[in-house]
């Protein structure tokens, strides 16, 4: 047996025994070119958490503004104040979007945007309040840790106060964006000016303490290497050990078009599946791994269900961030399409809400049912709804 085979053998034994993989194990997984072996191992953990279920939700995105003080190299969405492309959504547009979402039966509004040079924190609170007033039944998953940190800076309030004010307005959870790559060798190069790794983690730590659940992402396939990706996952795993507040990890495949890194090729299909499988294996305390079809394409996202992923995200209408960066996926997938992809992959489709309650639909109305309990989601003091 050569040494590579021996290492993979020992990793397989650990996964089967439910033992944690080390940083070095992660590097060994990165060095492994046996895609099927990685998929098979990742599948063991996926199945342990989620049986044969694969989840999706009905959601819509709102990007309230594209004006951003930061100039992250990977971003094709941002605009300078005064650019032709620059916009800020007004109350009527936000309310209209919320009403449209409500009439389509959406259970979630996902809000993420630029960090505007001039808008006060009160605008971002108002966005949440306007939506809550227009569509009280919809869960608002809003503002990345980078945005929360920025709001704290411009308003000279603490992260905790910012989160509390947003929660009072109707915030339901935090999305996982802004994490990019935590390792300083990469972070300083691609987005050095924005929230540091420590700040990002601290916003999520604070959110979890206040009873909010959140997600985490990793932007891969640009100047990152194996050690940066494994380091990223280990840092998230450590915070999850501490708080239990993360629900889902979403590896985000880099889209280069129209960004300052347009010369870098897109990650390959093999890389997409490898990163998915390794995420499932390393993040042993995350209940869910999402194959975000908008980034991966519907076909790769479907295949990812055999490489550790158990969630396809949502129907997603009005997505701008990746479409500006060259995503060729449609703006919307229908429920029938998502369910068909899941069934064809041999899994049972389950509609969920943002906090992983099963959704039951009766004609035009929907109601949240029981929480989809998977081991590992134990947020101290949190309301499970």
* Residues paired with residue 53 on neighbouring β-strands, in sequence order: 348
**Pairwise CA distance, residues 11 & 8, whole Å:** 5
CB atoms within 10 A of CB 153: 15
Give yes or no for residue 267 binding ligand V47 (CB under 6 A).
no
Q: Does 309 bind ligand V47 (CB under 6 A)?
A: no
Distance in Å, CB of 145 to ligand V47, minimum: 9
Is 112 a residue that touches ligand V47 (CB under 6 A)? yes
Q: Binding of ligand V47 at residue 311 (CB under 6 A)?
A: no
Distance CA 225, CA 214 (A): 26
- Residue number, 28 or 317, with CB nearest to ligand V47: 317
DSSP notation for 334-353:
-HHHHHHHHHHTT-EEEEB-
Helix or strand run (H / E) with residue 108: strand 108-111
219 binds ligand V47 (CB under 6 A): yes
CB-CB contact of 200 with 232 (8 Å) = no
Tokens of 41: 């191992």
60 binds ligand V47 (CB under 6 A): no
Instruction: Pick between residue 15 and residue 213 the one whose CB is nearest to ligand V47.
Output: 213
- Binding part of the chain for ligand V47, among 200-208, 224-232, 317-325, 374-382 by CB under 6 A, reads 317-325
Binding flag, residue 172, ligand V47 (CB under 6 A): no
Is residue 58 at the binding interface for ligand V47, with CB under 6 A as the rule? no
d(CA 300, CA 119) in angstroms, rounded, equals: 39
Distance (Å, rounded) from C-alpha 270 to C-alpha 358?
32
32 or 183, CB closer to ligand V47? 183
245 binds ligand V47 (CB under 6 A): no
Asked if 61 and 316 count as a contact pair (C-beta separation under 8 A), the reply is yes
Closer residue to ligand V47, CB minimum distance, 15 or 107: 107
Smallest distance from ligand V47 to CB 7, Å: 31
Query: According to CB under 6 A, which residues from 121 to 150 bind ligand V47?
Result: 144
Nearer to ligand V47, 28 or 325 (CB): 325
The stretch near ligand V47 (CB under 6 A) out of 1-9, 91-99, 225-233, 254-262 is 254-262
Residue nearest to ligand V47 (CB): 177
Let me know: does 43 contact 306? Beta carbons within 8 Å: yes
- Taking CB under 6 A as the rule, does residue 163 contact ligand V47? no
Among 255, 274, 352, 357, binds ligand V47 (CB under 6 A): 255
Verify binding: residue 178, ligand V47, rule CB under 6 A.
Answer: yes
Instruction: Provide the token pair at 294.
Output: 């908008």
Does 254 bind ligand V47 (CB under 6 A)? Our answer is yes
249 binds ligand V47 (CB under 6 A): no
Near ligand V47 by CB under 6 A: residue from 74, 150, 182, 293: 74
Residue 265 CA to residue 276 CA, distance in Å, equals 19
**Could you tell me which residues come within 8 angstroms of residue 234 by beta carbon, excluding any fewer than 6 positions away?**
23, 26, 282
- When the beta carbons of 8 and 142 are compared against ligand V47, the nearer one is 142
Q: Does residue 59 touch ligand V47 according to CB under 6 A? A: no
Token pair for residue 94? Answer: 């936000």
Here the tokens at position 364 are 């035009």
In this chain, which of 53, 292, 307, 356 binds ligand V47, going by CB under 6 A?
Answer: 292
Which residues 323-352 are close enough to bind ligand V47 by CB under 6 A? Answer: 325
Question: What's the min distance (Å) between Cβ of 131 and ligand V47?
Answer: 17
Query: How many chain residues interact with ligand V47 (CB under 6 A)?
Result: 23
Give the CA count within 13 Å in the CB-facing half-sphere of 30: 18
Specify the DSSP element, H or E, that contains 141.
strand 139-142
When computed from its CA atoms, the radius of gyration of the chain, rounded to whole angstroms, is: 20
DSSP state of 88: B
C-alpha 105/C-alpha 58 separation (Å) is 7
Interacting residue ranges for ligand V47, rule: CB under 6 A: 74-76, 112, 144, 175-178, 180, 215, 217, 219, 250, 252, 254-255, 259, 292, 313, 321-322, 325
């Amino acid at each position: 047996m050569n040494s590579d085979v021996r290492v993979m053998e020992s990793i397989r034994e650990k996964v089967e025994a439910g033992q944690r993989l080390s940083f070095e194990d992660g590097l060994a997984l990165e060095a492994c070119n046996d895609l099927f072996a990685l998929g098979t191992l990742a599948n063991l953990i996926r199945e342990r958490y989620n049986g044969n279920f694969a989840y999706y939700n009905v959601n819509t995105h709102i990007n309230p503004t594209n004006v951003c003080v930061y100039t992250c190299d990977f971003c094709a969405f941002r605009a300078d104040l005064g650019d032709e492309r620059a916009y800020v959504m007004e109350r009527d547009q936000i309310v209209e979007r919320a009403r449209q979402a409500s009439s389509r039966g959406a259970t979630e509004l996902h809000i993420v945007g630029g960090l505007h040079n001039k808008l006060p924190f009160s605008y971002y609170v108002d966005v949440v309040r306007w939506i809550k007033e227009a569509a009280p039944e919809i869960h608002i998953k809003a503002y990345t840790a980078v945005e929360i940190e920025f709001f704290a800076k411009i308003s000279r309030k603490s992260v905790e106060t910012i989160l509390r004010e947003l929660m009072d307005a109707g915030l339901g959870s935090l999305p996982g964006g802004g994490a990019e790559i935590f390792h300083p060798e990469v972070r300083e190069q691609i987005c050095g000016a924005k929230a540091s790794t420590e700040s990002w983690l601290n916003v999520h730590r604070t959110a979890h303490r206040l009873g909010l659940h959140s997600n985490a992402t990793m932007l891969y396939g640009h100047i990152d290497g194996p050690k940066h990706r494994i380091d990223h996952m280990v840092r998230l795993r450590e915070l999850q050990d501490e708080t239990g507040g993360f629900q889902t990890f979403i590896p985000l495949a880099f889209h280069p078009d129209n960004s300052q890194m347009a010369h870098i090729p897109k990650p390959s299909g093999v890389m997409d599946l490898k990163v998915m499988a390794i995420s499932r294996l390393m993040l042993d305390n995350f209940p869910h791994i999402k194959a975000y079809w908008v980034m991966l394409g519907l076909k790769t996202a479907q295949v990812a269900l055999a490489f550790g992923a158990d969630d396809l995200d949502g129907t997603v209408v009005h997505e701008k961030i990746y479409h500006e960066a060259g995503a060729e996926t449609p703006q919307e997938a229908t429920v029938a399409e998502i369910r068909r992809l899941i069934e064809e992959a041999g899994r049972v489709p389950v509609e969920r809400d943002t906090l992983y309650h099963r959704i039951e639909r009766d004609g035009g109305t929907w109601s949240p049912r029981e929480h989809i309990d998977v081991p590992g989601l134990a947020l101290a003091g949190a309301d499970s709804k």
